[in-house]
Chain A
Amino acid sequence: MASLARLALAEEEIEPMARELSAVLEHVARIGELDLEGVAPTSHVVEVTGALRPDEPRPCLPREVALAQAPAVADDGFLVPSPQA
């Protein structure tokens, strides 16, 4: 689960995490008792119609502004370690 979440957990974090998550899951499992046959899941809580806008090009953040907060940049892009390393 931690690797799915892209989260490294230290050895000493694993046991408390498992214990706390079990307690929470046990509590939320109570919704399993409800009869929800035929009930539609909520997709949006207030009615919204016509939320589409015209597909027109608009200015976006300049490249140097978008890159300004990055930990590492190279050649006008975000620099990351090689996936093959």
Chain B
Amino acid sequence: MGGAHELTAAQAAGEIAAGSLSAAELFEAYRARAAADAAAGEHGLNCFTWVAEHAPRDGAAAAAPLAGVPLAVKDLFCTEGVPSQSGSRILAGYLPPYTATVVRALAAAGAPLLAKTNQDEFAMGSSNENSAFGPVRNPWDRRRVPGGSSGGSAAAVAAGLAPWALGTDTGGSIRQPAALCGIVGLKPTYGAVSRYGMIAFASSLDQAGPLTRDVRDAALALRHMVGRDPCDATSLAFPEEIAEPAAERLDGVRLGVPEELTGEGIEAGVLDRFNAALASAEELGAQIEQVRLPHAPHALSAYYVIAPAEASSNLARFDGVRYGLRAASSSKADGDGDLIGMYTRTRHDGFGAEVKRRIMLGTYALSSGYYDAYYGRAQRVRTKIAEDFRAAFAQVELILTPTAPSVAFGLGEKTSDPLAMYLNDFCTVPMSLAGIPAISIPCGLSQGLPVGLQIAAPAFAENRLLDAAHALERALAFDSAVAHV
């Protein structure tokens, strides 16, 4: 039986605007679905950390462009008076005094806050198992991970628990969970969207973006997210309006396939779906060409220096002084009752294992005597990776790869081996380092689980990216209804 939760955000907005659905009813329907999932306990998805108690009372929403279609938002976006702890114990009970610019912008456009979504602690993870709120389960198979770090946002959208959601992507944290949950996830150009009010992980890489049921919804959300924000000096005016994607053909469009990201290390079933998607693109009139990204195989190494280095600096602010957790003071007799002792014990108690690992890694990479060998070198590799993409985009309009090297893996399967976990980001990290936009769309099933197709474009070519994704989405005709349970 169908229900309002099966509508895409654009469809729901259309029905509300036409008067055949009320925004308040839609909001209540989603609240009821969240309550049912929470009541399912171990069988539920654990994708929300907070759900709104009532629909917004402002009746004017229906006249706004997004018509009152509710939005789920990753926990790390600050929301005034609403718990925001980036999946960490160290921010337990934190109620921000302000709201992130993108959340405000979408609310102003008529998308009120429905829920906050579970995530890997401080967005560090590829499985959503590093959360103070416990792991999120994949709606396609609850014994498997949803991907991460925006795992709660991806699972909620895939399971019909939210029409759409916001996530953040530092090295793949929107695209990889979107792939593993069979939905659409878009990481915009670095600087296209304000980072103000996002609890920072790695500031030179972090970008907010939408997780949606289809490409049209991704464009609709992005249209209201982009733009220069005086509160974020790295944000930029977007050069054009984000259009509604309409392309049905790809005639004459040159699509590049980099051999470095489409061979070794990619699961056979994933490659099979990827190659089938390339065949579909050719049927739509596209020309497939080989391109080279010679430094892409080194992207993961550079990323796992740069991101932890920036994280170790960003996370220095969590010290038990201004917000969140403070470790109980120990007796003065053991000499540990001092200020430094309070810092170190608070951080010991408040951070999870993966966050501690990355803080240590980043502190090491930035420390005197190692800076040039690690951080300095990684930033040079980053320059080479960006040059590789520029050269490739002189030859082709878009670049295609699988989003993730495998389908969703089992809960607990990779938690004991950080390096194996990091390899999930192999195909997504190069685009993050180059600051360019990339989208993941579902391109079929392998072992009964969704496979994601990643499409990347030059900086600020989001309209080109969305148009091609739209044409391919139509041709691939992925059926996501199975996860709406």
Partners in one complex: yes
Check A24 against B345 for contact (C-beta < 8 Å).
no
A71-85 CB mask vs B (1 if < 8 Å, else 0) is 110000010111111
CA distance A73 to B418 in the complex (A): 39
Q: Is the interface of B mostly helix, strand, loop or mixed?
A: helix
CA distance A40 to B419 in the complex (A): 28
CA distance A20 to B459 in the complex (A): 35
CA distance A71 to B88 in the complex (A): 16
Check B97 against A21 for contact (C-beta < 8 Å).
no
In the complex, which residues of chain B have a beta carbon less than 8 angstroms from the beta carbon of A23?
418-419
Q: Which of A8, A46, A78, A82 has a CB less than 8 Å from the CB of B321?
A: A78
Q: Is B56 an interface residue (CB 8 A)?
A: no
Check A42 against B382 for contact (C-beta < 8 Å).
yes
Check B338 against A85 for contact (C-beta < 8 Å).
yes
CB contact under 8 A between A80 and B321, given known A41-B376, A45-B204, A71-B326: yes
A1-45 CB mask vs B (1 if < 8 Å, else 0) is 111111111100100010011011101111110101001111111
In the complex, which residues of chain A have a beta carbon less than 8 angstroms from the beta carbon of B312?
5
Q: From A7, which residue of chain B is reached at the shortest CB distance?
A: B347
Q: Is B190 an interface residue (CB 8 A)?
A: yes
Q: From A18, which residue of chain B is reached at the shortest CB distance?
A: B360
A37-62 CB mask vs B (1 if < 8 Å, else 0) is 00111111110100101000000010
In the complex, which residues of chain B have a beta carbon less than 8 angstroms from the beta carbon of A25?
361, 364
Q: Is B11 an interface residue (CB 8 A)?
A: no
Interface size of A in residues (CB-CB distance below 8 Å): 51
In the complex, which residues of chain B have a beta carbon less than 8 angstroms from the beta carbon of A46?
189-191, 236, 435, 459
Check A5 against B359 for contact (C-beta < 8 Å).
yes
Tell me which residues from 336 to 376 in chain B have a Cβ below 8 Å from any Cβ of chain A: 337-345, 347-348, 351, 353, 356-357, 359-361, 363-364, 367, 373-374, 376
In the complex, which residues of chain A have a beta carbon less than 8 angstroms from the beta carbon of B459?
46
Q: Is B448 an interface residue (CB 8 A)?
A: no
Check A24 against B321 for contact (C-beta < 8 Å).
no
Q: From B382, which residue of chain A is reached at the shortest CB distance?
A: A42
B218-242 CB mask vs A (1 if < 8 Å, else 0) is 0000000000001001101000000
CB contact under 8 A between A85 and B332, given known A4-B363, A7-B344: yes
Q: From B318, which residue of chain A is reached at the shortest CB distance?
A: A6
Q: Which of B322, B338, B341 has a CB less than 8 Å from the CB of A70?
A: B322
In the complex, 5 of the A-B residue pairs with CB atoms within 8 angstroms, ordered by the A residue number, are A2-B344, A28-B374, A32-B373, A65-B97, A81-B339
Residues of A within 8 A of B (CB): 1-10, 13, 17, 20-21, 23-25, 27-32, 34, 36, 39-46, 48, 51, 53, 61, 65-66, 68-72, 78, 80-85
Residues of B within 8 A of A (CB): 94-95, 97-98, 189-191, 204, 230, 233-234, 236, 295, 298, 300-302, 304-305, 312, 316, 319-326, 329, 332, 337-345, 347-348, 351, 353, 356-357, 359-361, 363-364, 367, 373-374, 376-384, 386, 418-419, 422, 433-435, 459
Contacts A31-B302, A61-B98 known; list 18 others, CB within 8 Å.
Answer: A1-B367, A6-B316, A8-B348, A9-B356, A24-B304, A24-B418, A27-B419, A27-B422, A34-B298, A41-B376, A46-B190, A53-B230, A65-B97, A68-B97, A69-B94, A71-B325, A85-B332, A85-B337
